[in-house]
């Protein structure tokens, strides 16, 4: 691999490599090196043995791409400033609070990213962010890159369809916000001719944000793009991974405050450093980040069962919504079903949804018993626990019927892809990276590992599918088939657990009647 453009010494702006130094006067060797890490793409590895709690990376504020910076540096800045002023004067409380953003964070970040991408494509390299934008992936591989028709077909029957709709919906409404602004900017001569700023540019920018944006809890949950920090890959097995957050006390040179990465455990030289992108299922990672760990090996794999008060068919809907609200519960919830055990509160919620109380007070009393007392009462002689278990079983039946394919077809599809993908050699192995070290200090020696992939024959042995893999439509289809296999297994196991518990409830009731 060539030298990393981010590190280019010829670029006039301060190179982000300074984030690796804790003291500008006496820089120690960098703690992290950039490497090619197999199907995960680039990643960061420890350059030397690192103890637990070590600061591995500091990114100063000046290198964070925030929404405020995006608004300032976009060619539409003058228009955005007018909007900010109008918003500030209409919401002014004289509190000295920072002026509100003219648009939502992601719209501003996407706008600047898209603009920079258009400029770079036309050879216009006037921005200090160019080295960063130049190394962003051309295809982030998120669901925004999937043809709409294909996404509809692939995700039919799966709860992932709702996630895809919400991602596409968010990108579409952001475009609706930006389109008139872009038209106005063009009219006002603010946008150079070589900056197309089309919907496809914005969709690309949204894909970059979905897969790389970092939320900083210790800085008011602000969302940023950060060079270097966004080269950290996700480990499904790590509960938390290394800690990445804003630290107001960290110092880079004379400046206080930095985005800091601290090691969660000791690292050996050459070991890849991971963070956790959150407790995400393989489908969520596929749609939002463009890669798919094997669902069977992902401890966060689930089936998101959506339960909602039926406002159309339930004559007691308003009462139930009010009763739920009294207990701080929404009228719609997604319960993550897993292979092992039922999610907390699921049966109570189902009991309220499916019960048919006669009067308003009965609804409120039922809700109190379920959500406060933790008991399932008899309602008009009917056991509300049995009601909830039957409700769960029938919802699992309906969910299983909603898939357009059979279990056998999905298993074959996923297994076929496992074999095909295993034959494609990724660039460098996963956990102990070997070749192609890219760093300011040159390669370090790491013992080679046996790079030969295992030969999978079942969907369970599907390897992690990286972004390059899932950019191929047939591999995407197989990844979703593998997810459907796991979702079905979860639904079947849940149904079996509900039937078994229903049997217990019936036997207990029979014993009570006999006494
Ligand atoms: C924040 S970036 C990390 C850096 C990235 N590898 C790169 O080369 O730019 C997130 C992207 O990294 C890749 N990625 C992260 N974790 C992964 C994993 N466990 N397996 C496969 N790909 C992964 C995916 O392409 C994802 O969209």
Residues 392 and 378 in one domain: yes
- Decide: 228 in ligand 1 pocket, CB within 6 A: no
% of the chain with per-residue pLDDT over 70? 83
Residues 209 and 124 in one domain: yes
Q: 428 alpha carbon to ligand 1 midpoint, in Å?
A: 14
Residues 295 and 385 in one domain: no
- Decide: 40 in ligand 1 pocket, CB within 6 A: yes
- Residue 94 within any structural domain of the chain: no
Atom of ligand 1 nearest to the CA of 212: 1
Residues 103 and 204 in one domain: yes
Which DSSP category does 65 fall into? Answer: B
Whose C-alpha lies nearest to ligand 1, atom 21? Answer: 40
* Tally of domains in the chain: 4
What digits encode the pLDDT tens for the residues 258-303? Answer: 999 999 889 999 999 999 999 999 999 999 999 999 999 999 999 9
β-pairing, 55-60 vs 255-262, is: antiparallel
Q: What's the token pair of residue 429? A: 């192995």
Residues 39 and 69 in one domain: no
Distances (CA, A) of 366 to 306, 375, 376, 378: 21, 9, 8, 9
- Decide: 212 in ligand 1 pocket, CB within 6 A: yes
> What mean pLDDT is predicted for residues 409-433?
68
Is the ipTM of this structure higher than 0.90?
A: yes
Residues 391 and 467 in one domain: no
Q: 379 alpha carbon to ligand 1 midpoint, in Å?
A: 52
**Model pLDDT, residue 402:** 98
What digits encode the pLDDT tens for the residues 388-402? Answer: 999 999 999 999 999
Atom of ligand 1 nearest to the CA of 135: 9
- Residue 504 within any structural domain of the chain: no
Phi (first) and psi of residue 42, to 5 degrees: -75, 155
Residues 254 and 331 in one domain: no
Provide the residue count of the chain.
515
- Residue 510 within any structural domain of the chain: no
- DSSP result, 273-314: PEE---S--HHHHHHHHS-B--GGG-TT--EEEEEE--TTT-
Element (H, E) at 250: strand 243-252
- Residue 174 within any structural domain of the chain: yes
Given a cut of 90, whether residue 408 has pLDDT beyond it is yes
- Residue 176 within any structural domain of the chain: yes
Residues 257 and 125 in one domain: no
How many angstroms separate the CA atoms of 16 and 23, rounded? 14
> What mean pLDDT is predicted for residues 332-359?
96
- Residue 313 within any structural domain of the chain: yes
Question: With bands split at pLDDT 50, 70 and 90, how would you rate the model's confidence at 452?
Answer: very low
Whose C-alpha lies nearest to ligand 1, atom 22? Answer: 40
Residues 83 and 195 in one domain: yes
User: Which residue among 138, 244, 284, 467 has the greatest number of ligand 1 atoms within 8 angstroms of its CB, and so is best to mutate?
Assistant: 467
Contact 341/317 with Cβ under 8 angstroms?
no
Q: 275 alpha carbon to ligand 1 midpoint, in Å?
A: 11
**Could you tell me where the DSSP H helices lie in 355-472?**
360-368, 384-401, 407-422, 467-470
Residues 215 and 103 in one domain: yes
Domain boundary, last residue among 355, 375, 402: 402
Residue 257 burial (10 A CB sphere; 0-12, 13-18, 19+)? middle
β-pairing, 55-60 vs 378-379, is: unpaired
Which residues, 6 or more positions from 272, have their beta carbon under 8 angstroms from its beta carbon? 35, 37, 40, 43, 44, 45, 233, 430, 431, 432, 433
What digits encode the pLDDT tens for the residues 181-214? Answer: 999 999 999 999 999 999 999 999 999 999 999 9
Residues 366 and 383 in one domain: yes
Given a cut of 50, whether residue 338 has pLDDT beyond it is yes
Which residues, 6 or more positions from 126, have their beta carbon under 8 angstroms from its beta carbon? 119
Residues 468 and 361 in one domain: no
Domain boundary, last residue among 402, 432, 455: 402
Residue keyed to tokens 């996700």:
234
β-pairing, 214-216 vs 32-36, is: unpaired
- Residue 499 within any structural domain of the chain: no
- Decide: 467 in ligand 1 pocket, CB within 6 A: yes
User: Which residue among 33, 41, 236 has the greatest number of ligand 1 atoms within 8 angstroms of its CB, and so is best to mutate?
Assistant: 41
- Decide: 283 in ligand 1 pocket, CB within 6 A: no
What digits encode the pLDDT tens for the residues 26-85? Answer: 344 478 988 999 999 999 999 999 999 999 999 999 999 999 999 999 999 999 999 877
- Residue 71 within any structural domain of the chain: yes
> What mean pLDDT is predicted for residues 340-346?
95
Q: Which CATH number goes with the domain that contains 21?
A: 2.170.270.10
Question: With bands split at pLDDT 50, 70 and 90, how would you rate the model's confidence at 415?
Answer: confident
Q: 213 alpha carbon to ligand 1 midpoint, in Å?
A: 12
Whose C-alpha lies nearest to ligand 1, atom 23? Answer: 40
Given a cut of 50, whether residue 335 has pLDDT beyond it is yes
Whose C-alpha lies nearest to ligand 1, atom 4? Answer: 231
Q: Which CATH number goes with the domain that contains 151?
A: 3.90.1410.10
> What mean pLDDT is predicted for residues 169-191?
97
Which structural domain, as residue segments, surrounds residue 104?
Answer: 65-88+99-223
How many angstroms separate the CA atoms of 207 and 137, rounded? 10
């Amino acid at each position: 691999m060539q030298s990393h453009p981010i590190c280019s010494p010829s670029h006039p702006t301060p190179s982000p490599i300074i984030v690796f130094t804790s003291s500008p006067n006496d820089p120690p060797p960098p703690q992290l090196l950039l490497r090619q890490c197999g199907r995960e793409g680039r990643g960061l590895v420890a350059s030397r043995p690192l103890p637990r709690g070590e600061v591995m990376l500091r990114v100063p504020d000046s290198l964070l791409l925030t929404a405020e910076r995006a608004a300032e540096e976009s060619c539409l800045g003058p228009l955005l400033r007018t909007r900010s002023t109008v918003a500030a004067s209409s919401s002014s409380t004289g509190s000295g609070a920072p002026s509100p953003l003219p648009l939502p964070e992601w719209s501003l970040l996407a706008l600047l990213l898209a603009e920079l991408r258009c400029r770079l494509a036309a050879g216009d390299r006037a921005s200090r962010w160019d080295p960063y934008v130049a190394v962003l992936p051309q295809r982030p591989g998120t669901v925004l890159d999937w043809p709409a028709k294909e996404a509809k077909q692939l995700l039919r029957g799966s709860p992932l369809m709702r996630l895809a709709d919400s991602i596409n919906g968010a990108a579409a409404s952001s475009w609706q916000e930006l389109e008139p602004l872009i038209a106005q900017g063009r009219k006002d001569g603010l946008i150079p001719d070589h900056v197309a700023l089309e919907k496809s540019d914005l969709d690309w920018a949204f894909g970059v944000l979905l897969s790389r944006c970092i939320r900083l809890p210790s800085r008011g949950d602000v969302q940023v793009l950060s060079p270097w920090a966004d080269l950290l890959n996700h480990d499904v097995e790590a509960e938390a991974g290394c800690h990445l957050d804003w630290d107001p006390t960290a110092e880079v040179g004379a400046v206080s405050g930095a985005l800091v990465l601290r090691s969660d455990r000791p690292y050996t030289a050459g070991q890849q450093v991971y963070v956790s992108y959150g407790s995400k299922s393989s489908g969520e990672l596929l749609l939002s980040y463009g890669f798919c760990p094997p669902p069977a090996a992902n401890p966060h794999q689930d089936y998101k069962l959506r339960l909602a008060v039926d406002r159309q068919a339930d004559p007691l809907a308003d009462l139930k919504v009010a009763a739920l609200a009294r207990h701080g519960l929404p009228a719609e919830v997604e319960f993550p079903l897993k292979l092992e055990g039922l999610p907390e509160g699921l049966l109570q919620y189902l009991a309220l949804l499916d019960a048919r109380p006669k009067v308003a007070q009965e609804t409120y009393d039922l809700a109190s018993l379920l959500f406060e007392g933790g008991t399932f009462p008899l309602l008009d002689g009917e056991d509300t626990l049995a009601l909830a278990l039957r409700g769960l079983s029938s919802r699992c039946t309906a969910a299983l019927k909603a898939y357009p394919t059979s279990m056998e077809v999905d298993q074959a599809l996923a297994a076929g892809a496992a074999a095909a993908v295993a034959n494609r050699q990724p660039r460098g192995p996963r956990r102990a990276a070997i070749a192609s070290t890219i760093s300011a200090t040159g390669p370090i020696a790491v013992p080679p590992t046996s790079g030969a992939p295992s030969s999978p024959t079942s969907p369970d042995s599907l390897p992690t599918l990286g972004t390059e893999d899932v950019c191929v439509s047939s591999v995407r289809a197989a990844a979703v088939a593998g997810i459907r296999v796991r979702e079905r297994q979860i639904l079947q196991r849940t149904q079996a657990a509900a039937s078994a518990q229903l049997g217990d409830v019936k036997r207990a009731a029979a014993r009570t009647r006999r006494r």
